[in-house]
Amino acid sequence: MDLFNSLLVSLPIADMGSAFSDSTAPGKSIVILLFIGSAWAWTIMLTKWWELRCAERATADFLGAFRSDRNPTALFTRREEYLGAPVNIIYKAGCAALGGELQAHGIDPDDLLMGDMTSEAHRRLSLNQLETLRAVVDRNVADEALNLEDKMGLLATAVSAAPFLGLLGTVWGVMDAFAGMAISGNAALSAVAPGISGALLTTIVGLLVALPSMIGYNLLSSKIRTISVQMDNFAQEYISAIQNSYVIEG
């Protein structure tokens, strides 16, 4: 029982509700702004986490299906879809570009099953055309990387701006508290303590916004780097497979 009572005594007695009511109008405005920013940051983190989770699963399914078939264009011909997988978008753009290059040789661009399963007469791509195809794939890799990083800048803004916004509210509140003390002529601590408590609230709220946002940003950035590396590796793997199946040797 004594241990329980000692724990109760050691608990903080700060009341955020009272501190908010003791805050000045600018302090209350900053706290409300920080709460809105917190809801906005959590919305970004949750939606981004779900998007990246779906992208990871779809990417794993796509890569498994792509590597299980010797023909690099088989998935495109079968019209298989892997929604949410950035590599699927890159793959379809590459296959579409491949069809355009083959059409220049009078080959039906929709017939992409030829690969290394047909005669040497169908191996019509030159090295220059392969470089054109590589440029298309690389451009789509860059576009998908930008899509993955969408809204991450806003989350980084919450991480960096929230503590400074809280500090601004604290400094402003403390300045108002001491100004009120000077006007009233009362130098007692009890006269300024409520105002200072309300001023410090903005720093606390700023940190409560910044800390989860920083953790979420780091975790999401790690997932984005993983998927980006998978996209780069797939781009090289795809171009190598196309080179082996379609490029003229010698």
Using one digit for the tens of pLDDT, what is the confidence trace for 216-242?
A: 999 999 999 999 999 999 999 999 998
Domain ranges of the chain: 26-246
Instruction: Report the alpha-carbon distance of residue 64 to residue 175 in Å, rounded.
Output: 63
CB 125 within 8 A of CB 101: yes
139-147 long-range contacts, CB within 8 A, separation 24+:
140/89, 140/90, 140/93, 140/94, 141/90, 141/231, 141/232, 141/235, 144/86, 144/89, 144/90, 144/231, 145/228, 145/231, 147/86
For 43, what's the count of Cα atoms within 13 Å in the CB-facing half-sphere? 8
Q: Where are the beta strands (DSSP E) in the chain?
A: none
Is residue 24 over pLDDT 80? no
| Site of tokens 């793997």 | 237
Give the span between the Cα atoms of 233 and 237, in whole angstroms: 6
Distance CA 61, CA 13 (A): 53
pLDDT 10s digits, 192-221: 666 677 778 888 889 999 999 999 999 999
CB 195 within 8 Å of CB 176:
yes
For residue 125, the SS3 value is strand
pLDDT per residue as tens digits for the range 54-99: 999 999 999 999 998 888 888 888 888 888 899 999 999 998 888 8
* pTM over cut 0.85: no
Residues 6+ apart with CB under 8 A from 230: 59, 63, 87
> What percent of the chain stands above pLDDT 70?
75
Could you tell me how far CA 217 lies from the centroid of its own chain?
7
Spatial separation of the C-alpha atoms in residues 82 and 63, rounded to whole Å = 10
